[in-house]
């Protein structure tokens, strides 16, 4: 099956790559900054372990919210919204000053991640359906590449002595820009059968 370089399907595929890479990069930057955030919040490993459950709870809630919204409004609407929420929420753990504020920050970050995860995978299914061949594994590989890029960038930022809040804030802004730039290439919602 031949697909033109300028086809909406190809543009949708590239946009999906962008969102998967963005998600991997955002979550990777959070992981790199965990020790610094833990120190800033003045908590120990045990408390952090409990607070990380809130990240998972937020992700679960975000997935439960994004699924029906994606069915109703289409991935083209929900993917950029989830990416914007996940990007904006990334700065919150860097601003946390105690266990309570870190817990709230992780809950919101998890929710944004869950929303983005479900909606971008729904869009990936739509792209794969258009290609009529398996392309999903390439999207998930791109998520991993985003995580690798985050590990490298985050390690460099820490090596330069940058604190978590400005670093995560800059990454949040970058995420918002990527989400906005990739949004027009997303495929329109498929008609309901």
Residue extents of the structural domains in the chain: 8-184
pLDDT in tens, 130-143: 999 999 999 999 99
Q: Contact at 8 Å (CB) between 186 and 80?
A: yes
pLDDT in tens, 91-135: 999 999 999 999 999 999 999 999 999 999 999 999 999 999 999
Alpha-carbon span 42 to 2, nearest angstrom: 57
Alpha-carbon span 82 to 62, nearest angstrom: 9
Looking at residue 189, what DSSP letter applies? P
Residue at token pair 């949040």: 172
* pTM (whole model) above 0.75: yes
Second CATH level (architecture) for the domain 8-184: Up-down Bundle (1.20)
Phi and psi at residue 75, in whole multiples of 5°?
-65, -30
Runs of H (alpha helix) within 42-185: 45-73, 75-95, 99-131, 136-159, 164-182
Q: pLDDT exceeding 70 applies to what percent of the chain?
A: 95
pLDDT in tens, 140-178: 999 999 999 999 999 999 999 999 999 999 999 999 999
């Amino acid at each position: 099956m031949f697909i033109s370089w300028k086809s909406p399907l190809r543009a949708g595929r590239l946009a999906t790559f962008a969102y998967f890479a963005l998600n991997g990069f955002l979550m990777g930057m959070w992981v790199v900054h965990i020790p610094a955030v833990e120190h800033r919040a003045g908590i120990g490993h045990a408390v952090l372990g409990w607070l990380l459950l809130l990240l998972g709870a937020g992700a679960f809630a975000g997935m439960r919210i994004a699924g029906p919204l994606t069915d109703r409004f289409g991935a083209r609407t929900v993917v950029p919204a989830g990416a914007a929420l996940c990007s904006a929420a990334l700065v919150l753990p860097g601003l946390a000053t105690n266990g309570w504020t870190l817990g709230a920050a992780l809950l919101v970050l998890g929710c944004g991640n869950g929303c983005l995860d479900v909606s971008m995978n729904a869009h990936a299914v739509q792209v794969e359906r258009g290609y009529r061949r398996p392309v999903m594994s390439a999207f998930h590989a791109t998520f991993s590449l985003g995580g690798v890029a985050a590990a490298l960038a985050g390690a460099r930022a820490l090596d330069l002595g940058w604190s978590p809040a400005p670093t995560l804030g800059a990454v949040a802004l970058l995420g918002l820009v990527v989400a906005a730039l990739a949004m027009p290439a997303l495929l329109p919602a498929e008609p309901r059968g």
